[in-house]
Structure 1
Amino acid sequence: METISRRYVVHLDILGMRALSARNHREAWDMLSALEIGLRKSTNSTVFYKGFDGPAHIPELVQSVVFSDTIVLYSASDSKKDFVAIFTAALKLFAEALYLRVPIRIGISKGMFYSDEERSMYAGPALIEAYEIGEASQWLGIVLSDSVAEDARNEDFRNGASRLVVDWEVPTKNGPVKASVVNWPVALEKNFKIEPPIAPEQFYQIFEEYFGPLSELREVDAAKYTNTVDFLNAQYASHKQG
C-alpha cells in the first residue's frame, strides 16, 4: 500500500564495500549479514522518554529496508515520538556497526517520503537529502539535516553536561562544511575499550581484517579514519573536561 507523508529518514552506507566486494565477495556478504543482525537489534527496543504518555516501541514507529550496502530507516510520521525513536535507532545502529567492525556513515533528514512496502518502492526529497548529506561526509559519523538538527536542539539530548548533537566542520570531498552531527563519542563513551585520545591506527585496527593495513589504503580512504579520530578525540576530551 502506497503512503506519503512527512517523516524522518535515515540513510546508511558501508564504507569500502565496493572494493571489498571486488576482492572477496564472501567477506562482503558476511559483513552485510552482520550489519543486518545489528539492524534488527537496534530497532527492536523501547524508549522511555520525558514528556511521553507511555513508552515508545521502536518496531511500531520505525521501518527499515536493506539493499546492497545501503540501509534506510523511516518513521511513520514526523511527530516527537517518531523523532526520538528513529534518533535512538540510528545511534544504536551506529554502535552496533562499530562493535561488528563495519565502517558506516549516516545521514538523517526530515521531509516528504513515499513508501510502498508491497512493491519495495521508496522515494522522496527526504531520502535524497539523507543520502546526499551522508554520502558527502568523509568519515564514520552521523550528519543531520538542518530541520532534524533543529528538532534535536529542541530536545537537548545530553550525556551529563555534554550535548549529543553538536556543530562540526564535517569533512567532505569539497572541503569542510559546518553541520550539526551526532556526538557519538560521548553517547557511546562506555563502549570504548581504550580510553581516548587514540591514534587513527588504533581506531582502524578493528577494520584491518576486512580492508588491510591503514598504510595500504588509498589516501582518500585513510583520511576518513583520520577525520573520524579527530572528531572522536576532540569531543571526548571536551566531555571529560566539562
Structure 2
Amino acid sequence: MPDNIRYVTHVDILGMSSLVQRNAEQAWEVLSGLASVRDHLDSFGVEVTASGQKFAISDRVFRVMFSDTIVLFTKGETEDDLRLLLIATGELFHKAMFNGIPVRVGVALGKFFFNFEKSMFAGPALIDAYHLGESAQWLGISTSETVYLRSKAVNFRSGSLADAVIPAMIPVTKRYP
C-alpha cells in the first residue's frame, strides 16, 4: 500500500505487570496461553459473502506479539480487509476470554508502517488502537468511530440479524487526544 493506510487491532492482557512481579511462572503460562490463542488464527479461514471470496485470515491479516500485547493489521483498507480484521479480532477476543485471559482490545484505521525483518511497527493507527483499548474500563473490543461507521457502511453483521459492531457508552479512564 503506497499510503500505508490499514486497519489495526491492539490487544493487551490486563494486570500482566503485577502478575509478573507476583508469580513469573504463572505470568509465563498466561503469555503462553495468549500465544496459543494468537496461533489459532493461522488455521482460521472465512468466506466473505459480500465479495464471495474465500480467505485464510493469515493471508490478509498479519500479527505480531511482544510481551503481553498482540497487534493485528491488514494489508490495506478494503471492505474485505475490514471484515477479516473484525472477524479475527472477535475470534481472538473470544478465545482469550474462553481461556480465562482478560484482555482489552482497540481497533483503529490509519497510517501504519511495518518491517517484519527488523521488528519495526509504528503509526498513528497503532497509537489510536492502543488508546481505545487502554482507556476502556471493561473487557471488550472498542473501535474508533471511523471503524464503526465503515462497518455500518459495509453492512457487517452477526449472521443476518444484528450489526456486529454497535454503538455503546463505554466507561473510560480518560479520553485520549
* Fold similarity call, TM over 0.5: yes
Which residue matches 2:33?
34
Structure 1 Cα separation of the partners of residues 12 and 174 of structure 2: 19
Amino acid at match of 2:87: T
The percentage of counterpart residues that share the same residue type is 35
Cα-Cα RMSD: 1.6
Structure 2 Cα separation of the partners of residues 105 and 113 of structure 1: 20
The alpha carbon displacement at 1:160 in A equals 4.8
Amino acid at match of 2:80: K
Tell me, yes or no, if structure 1 residue 137 matches structure 2 residue 136. yes
Which residue matches 2:158?
158
Within a 5 Å distance, the mapping from 1:177-216 to structure 2 comes to: none
Amino acid at match of 1:29: W
Structure 1 Cα separation of the partners of residues 18 and 87 of structure 2: 30
Amino acid at match of 1:52: S
In structure 2, the residue corresponding to 1:166 is in which secondary structure? coil
In structure 1, the residue corresponding to 2:38 is in which secondary structure? helix
* Distance change in 2, residues 1:18/1:4 (3 Å): farther
* Distance change in 2, residues 1:23/1:31 (3 Å): same
Amino acid at match of 2:79: K
Amino acid at match of 2:127: I
Contact 2:47–2:55 (Cα < 8 Å) also in 1: yes
Q: Structure 2 unaligned runs (5+)?
A: none
Which residue matches 1:207?
none
Structure 2 Cα separation of the partners of residues 142 and 128 of structure 1: 15
Q: What are the Cα deviations for residues 87-141 of structure 1, in whole angstroms up to 9, with x where unaligned?
A: 1100000011011100001000011101010000000111110011111001100
| Higher Cα Rg, which structure | 1
Structure 1 Cα separation of the partners of residues 68 and 12 of structure 2: 6
Contact 1:8–1:77 (Cα < 8 Å) also in 2: yes
* Distance change in 2, residues 1:128/1:21 (3 Å): same
Amino acid at match of 1:173: T
Which residue matches 1:63?
62
The runs of at least 4 aligned residues of structure 1 exceeding 2 Å deviation read 158-163
In structure 2, the residue corresponding to 1:168 is in which secondary structure? coil
Which residue matches 1:14?
13
Aligned residues: 173
Amino acid at match of 1:163: D
Report which structure shows greater RCO (CA 8 Å, sep ≥6): 2
Q: What are the Cα deviations for residues 55-102 of structure 1, in whole angstroms up to 9, with x where unaligned?
A: 022111011111111110111111111111111100000011011100
Amino acid at match of 2:19: L
Structure 1 Cα separation of the partners of residues 57 and 113 of structure 2: 20
The alpha carbon displacement at 1:52 in A equals 1.7
Which residue matches 1:72?
71
Contact 1:42–1:96 (Cα < 8 Å) also in 2: no
Contact 1:43–1:89 (Cα < 8 Å) also in 2: no
Amino acid at match of 2:40: K
Q: Structure 1 unaligned runs (5+)?
A: 176-242
Structure 1 Cα separation of the partners of residues 114 and 3 of structure 2: 7
